[in-house]
Amino acid sequence: MNRRAFIGTLTGGFLAAPLAAEAQQAGKVHRLGILIPTRQERSGGIKTALRDLGYVEGQNLIVESRYAESKLDRLPKMARELVQLRVDVIYAVGLAAIRAAKDATTTIPIVMYGGVDPVAAGFVTSLARPGGNITGVLILPGSTLAGKKLELLKDVVPRVARIALLAPDDPAFPPQLRETQNAAASLGIKLVVVEVRGGDYDRAFATMAAERPGALLVAATPTFMSDRKRIIDLAAKHRLPALYEWPEQVQDGGLMSYGSTQPALFQRAATYIDRIFNGAKPADLPVEQPSKFDLVINLKTAKALGLTIPPPLLQRADQVIE
């Protein structure tokens, strides 16, 4: 797996520091609150990253997890529960969870994770200087690179005129949708937007099939990463060349991906939790966003779809799965 670079107004020394940059306080048991909208997204990634930093549940770490089971109106109460438990840090995933945590406390540090615009949402003053009790890691850069992703699909399916966008039922999604719609319009592509409601992927793909798209762009959201096998199977069933956000989705059978990697992002989020456990203040930790992206192509999937990947595209790929 290739290394990932991150941007933000960060000093070179901070970036170069190892993940376990600060020694854990001897004998200290830290309490982490986890606030996640859906159980499907789970919390395994951040827990694994924290283990890599030496945090072991039941020894030097207590984890209080709250999952809203896709019922976002539960999040405010759950956030208040975490505050009452006096956790040291709240790790909040996604716009609704971050907002609920922010509304619940102005003193407990919050490490956010997700595809949000934290400045527009009012979570931080700026990426470089958050200025409050919130910092964290974004899964997308300032843009979602929608134009680049649609161009990659056109490279593989040159005559495609209609591309479906698999969209989440997520309050943070509209900016990503607008960017994709604008990119499609500039490329002369008809964008067919299909939203997944209540985790009903069968219905979403049936709706999509009725529109007869020539390819599929899967939105960048942790939920679609968690549910990737279901999405990959349905894309194969409907014989849709699909482009995803993360390499893991291609390693599990998707056609292509263009983006960063979840493990790298979890490592960065865990690093922030570790630093805050050891005394750092969120206001002093710039919000990070990925700046390096890899193109991954699965030739086995391409063959199953009857596609020939252009040699120049293969040469540009960072990873080719055969």
Looking at the domain assignment, is residue 115 inside a domain? yes
Looking at the domain assignment, is residue 1 inside a domain? no
pLDDT value, residue 276: 98
| 186 & 314 share domain | yes
pLDDT value, residue 188: 95
pLDDT value, residue 40: 54
Rounded distance, CA 217 to CA 255, Å?
Answer: 11
CB of 187 within 8 A of CB of 151?
A: yes
Looking at the domain assignment, is residue 207 inside a domain? yes
Looking at the domain assignment, is residue 269 inside a domain? yes
| 244 & 112 share domain | no
pLDDT value, residue 267: 93
| 106 & 215 share domain | no
| H or E, element range at 259 | strand 256-259
Where in the sequence is the domain holding 206, given as residue range(s)? 146-259+293-321
Between strands 294-298 and 89-93, the pairing is unpaired
Q: How many domains does the chain have?
A: 2
pLDDT value, residue 23: 43
| 255 & 267 share domain | no
Looking at the domain assignment, is residue 96 inside a domain? yes
| 47 & 117 share domain | yes
What is the Cα gyration radius of the chain?
20
| 61 & 113 share domain | yes
CB of 319 within 8 A of CB of 247?
A: yes
CATH of the domain at 303: 3.40.50.2300
Residues of the chain with pLDDT under 50: 1-23
pLDDT value, residue 83: 98
Q: Is 320 exposed, middle or buried (0-12, 13-18, 19+ CB in 10 A)?
A: middle
| 218 & 305 share domain | yes
Sheet holding 134-138, edge to edge: 61-67, 30-36, 89-93, 110-114, 134-138
Tell me the whole-structure pTM to 2 decimals: 0.77
| 175 & 306 share domain | yes
| 25 & 101 share domain | yes
User: Would you list the DSSP string of 104-132?
Assistant: H-SSS-EEEEES--TTTTTS-S-SS---S
| 29 & 170 share domain | no
pLDDT value, residue 161: 96
| 157 & 297 share domain | yes
| 155 & 51 share domain | no
